[in-house]
Each structure stands twice: as C-alpha cells, then as structure tokens.
Chain A
Amino acid sequence: MVMRKLQLELPLNQTQKVRFERAMERLQLLSSTTNNSVIVADSIHEDAFLLKGYGTSEVDGELLATVCGVVTNVDKLVYIRTLRARYKPEVKDIVVGRVIEVSQSCWRVELNSTKDGILKLSSMDNDVQRRKTDVDELSMRNIIVEDDVVCAEVGCIHRDGGLELRATSYKYGKLDKGQLLMVDPYLVKRSNIHFHYIESLGIDLIIGRNGFIWVGEHVQAQDRRILDDEMIKHTSLETRQSILRIGNAIRVLSNLGFTMTLEVIIETVILSNMENIDVHDMLGSEFHVLVAENEVERRIRRA
C-alpha cells in the first residue's frame, strides 16, 4: 500500500500502514470539523460575509464557486484558496529565490510565482549610499551571478503583475554555504519572524513565503556584502550534517503536508536524533510515520 498523500511513493508494511492511517484520522478530527472543499459551481454558505473574494461569484443572490479549492474566510472576507497555488506575492513578504538572469542594471529571480521577480541594482543597499554608475553596472557579476540564491523582500507589485524585489538591508542578499529547499507555498504562513538562527547548531534558517526555504551555515549579518575570497572557510562536518538533517526534516514535513514553522522543524530534528535515525533514513517510510504520530501528539498538547 502506498501513502496517498505523497508525490513519491513510499512502501509501507502492514503495521506502518495501520499506524499512519490512525495518525491521519486523529489529525483530521483535531484540525477541522467541516470539510470546506468545493468544486466549480458549488454554492457557498452566505453567513453574512460582506466581501466576496477571489474564486467566488454571486449569481441570483447565491454565492457560487468558480474554482476548485478550500473555502477560507478572514473576518468578513470569504475567498477560495486553490489547491496547488503558485505563490501570490504581497508587499513586504520575505522571499528566497534563485537568480536566472543578469540583465541591464537588474537581476531576474525565479520565485515559484507566475512572474519572475526583478531585483534592481539600485535597490541593493551597499554600505556606502551613492548613485550607481556604469562601473557598478559592469561589475554586477561580481556581486551576484546566475544560479545564486538570494533572499529579498517584495518591494512593489505593478498592475500588470511585474514584481520588484528589494534587498535594502544587511539581512538580505546572496546566500552561501547551504541548501535550498522547495515546498508548496501554502505551507508557509505569514509570521513575524522569517529569519531564524539556531544557536545550538550554528545554522541559519530562512523560511521564504514563496515556499523556498534556505538552510545554511550561520553567517554574521554584515558579512553578506564582503566579497573577500580569502575569508571562505570550510564548513565543519557537523554543521554540514546538521544542515542535511534539517533539510530532510523539511522534506518529510512537506511530503506530509504540515505547516512549516520553526518549532515543528526543530521538533522533527530532535525526534530523528532521539530515535537515532541516520540522515538518509529520514526520508524512509518509518520516519514519515513517526513524524505523523508526533504531529498528532503535538496538536493534542497545544489544544
């Protein structure tokens, strides 16, 4: 029997299957009492919603769905969140992306959204505030090249959908010495902190709202701008293993469809350490079942 949820198929033996099913059932009971999924032309309960948002349409006084998805409401706004949503950018969101092109005075960044993000040279803040000249444009390649991973915040969204990014603080910029992970955007909820520094392991964790997560060795904030080649130190073996362990924990959580927050990720890593599971075994069926069960207990504890 294979797990229904997973995109990759994991073979489960009989006991694992039973445990997994039970964990999923309990999660279902704990999470939502009503199944809010709709398909096209289903009617949505009115319930005094004043604002009709995306995916809804009013016909004959009745509210119908125009897309398939889950009905979500925020106060007086009701809208339908589609299942496999591409990231919908909002201003001031923190995103992580990969550079795909170096153009004239800007970099084009891939963000898992309908449009690529544009990071302008003028919105990269150097230590010295000055106008960028032609020399700066020609030396753009010294700062960021194709296939580099950058972290930025969404600056403004033009009316035709064009997306501008800003890297105006020392927190943003090129990311080095780590791993980029891609998960579904709806698993990352908006929160106050997206930059996490795990002190015990010396690792930076940046959870981008577009579903790209960066796990890397901790770099002092000012160092991001320094282009000193001699300062490249080798990452220690334990740090690398911690990076991989956290990366695999994130992969398991995204396979199971659980929301990404720092506590869940740390708990999963601690769980894997406690059970003495090897880093590559973390992607196996046993660990998936363990994480599912752990999530059930976590939600019970929280509730």
Chain B
Amino acid sequence: MEIDREDGRTPNQLRPLACSRNILHRPHGSASWSQGDTKVLAAVYGPKAGTKKNENAEKACFEVIWKPKSGQIGKVEKEYEMILKRTIQSICVLTVNPNTTTSVIIQVVHDDGSLLPCAINAACAALVDAGIPMKHLAVAICCCLAENGYLVLDPNKLEEKKMTAFAYLVFPNTTLSVLPEGSSVAEGEPVEHGIITSVTHGVMSVDDYFLCVENGRAATASLSAFFRKNFQQSSSKAG
C-alpha cells in the first residue's frame, strides 16, 4: 500500500539537490544548499582569535547565527541555533585550533519543508569551503510518519503539515572517521551506524522511530555520493 505523494515521488525519494560553494566573497567559506524549493545559504567566518566567556579555552568554539527569511528572531530560531551548534561541534576537530571562535551564519532563503536538515547540509558544505578540519561530513535528512503508519522521506511543507510525527536525523558521511582515539568501534557497534543528531516532533512508537532511522540512513548514501561528487569535481579542476 503506497502513499500517493502530490509531486509524484516515491516515499523514499528525495527532492532534487543542488549545492554551490564559494558564492559569497567576504566570508571565509560559503555554500548554498537546496532540496527542491527549500533553499538555505550558509557563511563561515573564522577561526578568529578568542573564545566566549563560558567556553572551554582549550577547544575551538563555534557560534551559530540563524536568520529567518522574514520576521523577528524568536525561540524557534534560538533552538535551531543550538541544535546546529551541537552538531557542528561533534563533527569538527576541536583540538586543532584551540581558543578560537568560528561563526556560522545561516540565512533561510526559502522554506518548503525539511528546513533544518537543509541548513545542516549547507553549514557542512560551507565549513568544507572554509577549510575547517572535520572528523567526518554530516548528512541530514527528514523522515516523517503519516497517519496510516507509512514512512515518507524529505517532505515538503504541505506534506509536513499532514504528518503525525517527523524526525530530523543527521548521520556521519563515511564509515571511517577521524576520531582522536581511533575508536571505530564504540560500545560494540561500528561508528557508521551512529547518529550525530536526532530531533523529533510529534508522537511515534519506538519501532517506528527505528524504522525512520534505517530508512534515513539508507537514503543518506545517495546524499553522501552527491557530496563527494560535488567536492571532487571542484577539487579536480583546481588541482
């Protein structure tokens, strides 16, 4: 029993992806990422000297500023900033540039569903463009659950409204990862099966959640391939 999606996609199909880097002149790194109609611009400045007051001076510090398309900055934006900051902290190598601050600024150009994953992907691409050392790349995806219990990936805004629950999931890009102690096996499970970030809204059962995770992870393979192709293309022309 398949769900009919309005734009004719299958439940596991993602919207067309587009990514361009080095679009802004002033920031050290910039990228724009669009999935379908959702488009986000990310800019990275840094690393700059000095950390904020309460931050650990032995590690690099990240600061995220989220700018919505219109309206004032409210609690929703603050929450996105915090989620993005934690995600970035876990994918970047913090010990290379201690006592520095790197600012990531996210500008929402258009929101058509699945905004936070799009922003995470854009931030990751911008960090790559700026040359910030990272342990692995992050790919983010949104999975949601419809009323009849079926899973749909990468919804647009109308679909999101009709869903009972959805989850934003962020996975690491590759199997190998640059971890400090070389712990590729953490607590009995290899790292590629790990999740970096998970944000859920709505009510879903535990089994449904694990199903979301599996489907999401399978779909991130195509996202990872897209990332890799994009970076290798631009580095082969420069090298």
Contact = CB atoms under 8 A, between A and B. Distances in A.
B53 interface: no
B129 A83 contact: yes
Among B135, B137, B234, B235, the one with the most A-chain Cβ atoms within 10 Å of its Cβ is B235
B134 interface: yes
B93 interface: yes
Contacts of B57: none
B16 interface: no
A40 B128 contact: yes
- Chain A interface mostly helix, strand, loop or mixed? loop
Interface string A61-87: 010111111100000000000111110
Interface residues of A, number: 35
A83 B137 contact: no
Given A114-B28, A160-B49, A41 B178 contact: yes
Interface in A240-288: 257
Nearest to A82: B131
Contacts of B28: 86, 114
A257 B234 CA distance: 12
B179 A59 contact: yes
B235 A64 contact: no
A38 B235 CA distance: 8
A62 B175 CA distance: 14
Nearest to A72: B239
Interface in B10-50: 21-22, 28-29, 47-49
A85 B134 contact: no
A41 B239 contact: no
B231 A37 contact: yes
Nearest to B91: A40
Contacts of A294: none
A40 B103 CA distance: 20
Interface of A: 4-5, 7, 32, 35-43, 55, 57, 59-60, 62, 64-70, 82-86, 114, 160-161, 186, 257
29 contacts: A35-B232, A37-B231, A38-B235, A39-B137, A39-B227, A39-B228, A40-B137, A40-B174, A41-B136, A41-B173, A41-B176, A42-B174, A55-B133, A57-B133, A57-B178, A59-B182, A60-B184, A64-B178, A65-B178, A66-B134, A70-B239, A83-B22, A83-B238, A84-B131, A86-B28, A114-B28, A114-B47, A114-B48, A257-B237
Counting from the closest, the 4 A-B pairs by CB-CB distance are: A37-B235, A82-B131, A66-B133, A70-B239
Given A40-B137, A41-B137, A65-B178, 8 more contacts: A39-B137, A41-B136, A59-B179, A67-B132, A84-B130, A86-B28, A257-B237, A257-B238
